[in-house]
A = this chain, B = another copy of it.
Amino acid sequence: MKNLLSKILVALLLLPIAAFAADPLPSWNEGSAKKSIIEFVEKVTKPGSPDFVPMPERIAVFDNDGTLWCEQPMPVQFYFALDRVKTLAPHHPEWKTQEPFASLLKGDLATALAGGDHALLELIMATHTGMTTVEFEQIVKAWIATAKHPKTGKLYTEMVYQPMLEVLAYLRANGFKTYIVSGGGIEFMRPWAEKVYGIPPEQVVGSSAKTKFEMRDGKAVLVRLPELNFNDDKQGKPVAINLHIGRRPIAAFGNSRGDQEMLEYTQSGGGARFELLVLHDDAAREYAYGPAKGLPDVKLGAFTQALYDQAKKSNWTVVSMKDDWKHIFAFEK
Minimum CB distance partner of A244 in chain B: B244
User: Which of A21-29, A141-149, A201-209 lies at the binding interface?
Assistant: A201-209
Residues of B within 8 A of A56 (CB): 194, 200
Our pick among B238, B245, B264 for the contact of A201 (Cβ within 8 Å) is: B245
- Chain A, range 165-220, C-beta contacts under 8 Å to B: 177, 186-187, 190, 194, 200-202, 204, 208, 211-213, 215, 219-220
Inter-chain contact B213/A235, CB cutoff 8 Å:
yes
Quote the shortest CB–CB distance from A219 to chain B (angstroms). Answer: 4
Inter-chain contact A261/B220, CB cutoff 8 Å:
yes
Inter-chain contact B222/A242, CB cutoff 8 Å:
yes
Binding site for B on A (CB under 8 A): 56, 133, 177, 186-187, 190, 194, 200-202, 204, 208, 211-213, 215, 219-222, 229, 235, 238-239, 242-247, 261, 264-265, 267-268
Inter-chain contact A211/B265, CB cutoff 8 Å:
no
Residues of B within 8 A of A247 (CB): 201-202
Q: How far is the CA of A238 from the CA of B215 in the complex (A)?
A: 12
Inter-chain contact B213/A239, CB cutoff 8 Å:
yes
Inter-chain contact A265/B204, CB cutoff 8 Å:
no
| A208, A221, A239 interface centre (most CB from chain B within 10 Å) | A239
